[in-house]
Structure 1
Amino acid sequence: MSLQLVQDGDSFFSVVQQSAEPVVVGFFGDFSATSKNARPAFEQFCEEHPDRSAYLVDVSETRNVHTQLGVSSVPTVLLVKGDMVLRKVMGA
C-alpha cells in the first residue's frame, strides 16, 4: 500500500483498528523547518517499503489524530497496531 494522507481522523482510526498488521504513521507540520526537512525521507522510506501500510498526518490540517496518539512534537513517526503505539521515534 502506498503512503496515504490522513484527512479524516475517524476514518483513519477505523482503518488502523481493523488492520491485521501494524501501520506506520508519520506526523509532520509545515510550520517546523525540521519537520519539513524530514518529510521527504519519510516519504522515501514508504516508497521503499510498499508492503507496509503507511499514513501521513499534517498536524495543521488533522488536529485530533496526533492528540489521540500522544504526539506533541513534529516530526514524529509511530508504529501503531490497533489502539497501541508499538514504537515512537521523535525528531529528525
Structure 2
Amino acid sequence: MNLKTQQPGDVSRRRFWTTHEVALLERLYPDLATIDVAARLKRPLSAVHSKAKTLSVKKSQAFLAGPLSGRLDGVRGQATRFQKRKEVAQ
C-alpha cells in the first residue's frame, strides 16, 4: 500500500466548521436556498447538505411551501410538461 505522508508545508484541503459557521448554518438553512447558504459560508453545496443533516437541521414549512423549494404544486412547470397523447381519428 502506498500512502502519502504529509510533508511540512503541505496544505490539507479539509476545513473544519467553526462555532460561528455552525450557528450561521442553523440560523440560515431553514429559510434560505441551500446554494445561498453555501455561498454565504464559502463552502461547497455538498458540505452544507452534509453538515445540516449531521445537525438535524431541516428546511422550514414556509420555505418548502414557497417557490424557491423547487417543489411542484400542480401549476408550476405545467406548460413544459408532457402532454397527454391525442387520439387519432381513423
- Please tell me the TM-score bracket, short chain as reference: under 0.3
Scaled by the length of structure 2, the TM-score of the pair is 0.26
> Rg: which structure is higher?
2
Greater fraction of residues in helix: 2
Q: Structure with the greater relative contact order (CA < 8 A, sep ≥ 6): 1 or 2?
A: 1
Greater fraction of residues in strand: 1
